[in-house]
Structure 1
Amino acid sequence: MDASSGSSSPSAIRPSRYCVNTRRFCAGVATLVGASKSALSRALCADAALPTILGADPEGPPRRPYAAVRTVVSPCLATASVLAQLPGRLRLLPPGRWAISPRAALHGSTPRSGARVALVLSGCGVYDGTEIHEASAILVHLSRGGADVQIFAPNAPQMHVIDHTKGQPSEGETRNVLTESARIARGKITDLAKLRAADHDAAIFPGGFGAAKNLSTFAVDGKDCKVNSDVERVLKEFHGAGKPIGLCCIAPVLAARVLRGVEVTVGHEQEEGGKWPYAGTAEAIKALGARHCVKDVTEAHVDQKNKVVTTPAFMCETALHHIHDGLGAMVRKVLELAGK
């Protein structure tokens, strides 16, 4: 510390800072391109700028030995650029190691070809659209499973709009299902009318009252409900093509209405002191001609014959992580049935 100026002199701090930063830089570049840290260090030491940085001219502006680093790094980067184009995990990096691609190293994951999954939403908000926690959890599990997801929703008006602070309809307000669903999709959403089973390996329908209000009339008509024409078409297309369909929460009623004789679950068939407040839905499912299978919230039921996978989700009053686990079980089974 210079007593007269109250500050550290450049000669006192630059060498230490330079050495620390250089070591970090060498380690980072070496990891990226497969070069050895010792090779980079030798190149740095040979650079003409090094004496200046280490204090020969402490008052002058520091020079960085980019030229020397480029000498070592450039050939490695050129090789890495070629190797990054190769498929799969088997890419040879110097000095003879099989490893993940340089591109994957940059992003922290290995590129892979996953299932193409269509996620069908019904708005935004548990009481008049998609249950947001369910949709988000499903997207996380699909991402973890390596799936390529495209999000859809019908371009149609909602049945009504609910003020979620009061749980009551907002008089005189109207909203569009596609527009509202775009909130969850971060704007990347497609009209359900354009969804074709031929373009995807699986379809998943999150819950929320939107499934019973906007994708069908189940909330009003129960076992006599009608299903949105595009929703019905999509379910029949995927079923006919032998491609898996995942549904959670109240959404299994859609499959029960469209795919006669299908096996689904909405959880337990008794309320059990309020733990299963929508247990009566199981009887409606039976009335629709489907078979209801009792499952816990962390489980998923698989109808192997029809390739339909269901889980209770928020049909159960429980901790969020239990619901998250059940949704994960559903997604994993869907991806397995899709062969991914």
Structure 2
Amino acid sequence: MARALIAVTDFGVEEAELVDPLNALKTAGIDVTVASNSGESIQTVTGDKNWASTVSADSKLADANASDYDLLVIPGGTVNADTLRIDDDARRLVKEFAAAGKPIGAICHGPWVLIDAGVAKGKTLTSYISIRPDLENAGATWVDKELFRCPGNGWVLLTSRNPDDLPVFTKALVDEIS
């Protein structure tokens, strides 16, 4: 059975960007672990400012290893992504997945962590428009598409722009490891 890891912080994750991939992967028969920086429940938001549901974490980011999974998913939410990008364990996991040639999916502000993990250079990707300059300054090529699959640098990166792109993003995540 394929295994996926969703990496988040415990506050500020855009609700649909966590819940939709989680449900799509589980529905496809994929074993999913949600890991937060604290290992505690995740307070999600909508539109970065309205409190939404609370999602249980299965483990801490510190306890996760790329060798145990087939796919890494990085949801957005501005606060989540900004906190995740400076988290040592989140950066370690991104580096481990890329080094092992395992796919990573990131949506909205999620690709920010790729910069801080040092794996954005040479990749072509999309994201929320506001982080485009950061990604380009880090050596990535930015495109405006609902989904972009980049196999460059020896690992697959699946990216989407925002919650409107979730149907195609979640399908791509499932297809990548099914």
**Is the TM value for this pair above 0.5?**
yes
1:228 equivalent in alignment to 2:70:
no
Runs (5+) with no aligned partner, structure 2: none
Larger Rg: 1
User: Offset at 1:333?
Assistant: 4.3
Q: Residue 137 of structure 2 corresponds to which residue in structure 1?
A: 287
Q: How far apart are the structure 1 equivalents of 2:137 and 2:18? A: 28
- With over 3 angstroms needed to count, the CA separation of the structure-2 counterparts of 1:280 and 1:324, relative to structure 1, is closer
CA shift digits 1:1-43 (9 cap, x unpaired): xxxxxxxxxxxxxxxxxxxxxxxxxxxxxxxxxxxxxxxxxxx
Using CA pairs under 8 Å that are at least 6 residues apart, name the structure with larger relative contact order, 1 or 2.
2
Q: Which amino acid aligns with 2:149?
A: V
Q: How far apart are the structure 2 equivalents of 1:147 and 1:284? A: 33
Q: How far apart are the structure 1 equivalents of 2:27 and 2:125? A: 25
State how many pairs are aligned. Answer: 170
Q: How far apart are the structure 2 equivalents of 1:334 and 1:255? A: 19
TM-score, length of structure 1 as denominator length: 0.45
1:301 equivalent in alignment to 2:151:
no
Q: Residue 310 of structure 1 corresponds to which residue in structure 2?
A: 159
Q: How far apart are the structure 1 equivalents of 2:114 and 2:100? A: 15
User: Offset at 1:252?
Assistant: 1.1
Q: How far apart are the structure 2 equivalents of 1:256 and 1:334? A: 23
Q: 2:103 aligns with which of 220, 235, 244?
A: 244
TM-score, length of structure 2 as denominator length: 0.82
Q: How far apart are the structure 2 equivalents of 1:256 and 1:262? A: 11
CA shift digits 1:40-73 (9 cap, x unpaired): xxxxxxxxxxxxxxxxxxxxxxxxxxxxxxxxxx
Question: Identity rate of aligned residues, in percent?
Answer: 25
Q: Which amino acid aligns with 2:150?
A: D
Runs (5+) with no aligned partner, structure 1: 1-112, 169-180, 217-226, 267-277, 315-321
Q: How far apart are the structure 1 equivalents of 2:112 and 2:33? A: 23
Q: Residue 30 of structure 1 corresponds to which residue in structure 2?
A: none
- With over 3 angstroms needed to count, the CA separation of the structure-2 counterparts of 1:203 and 1:145, relative to structure 1, is same
Q: Residue 184 of structure 1 corresponds to which residue in structure 2?
A: 55
Give the structure with the larger helix fraction: 1
RMSD: 2.9
User: Offset at 1:303?
Assistant: 1.0
Asked whether the 8 Å contact 1:301–1:311 carries over to 2, the reply is yes
- With over 3 angstroms needed to count, the CA separation of the structure-2 counterparts of 1:213 and 1:255, relative to structure 1, is closer
Q: Which amino acid aligns with 1:263?
A: T
Q: What secondary structure, in the 3-state scheme, does the structure 1 residue paired with 2:13 have?
A: coil
Give the structure with the larger strand fraction: 2
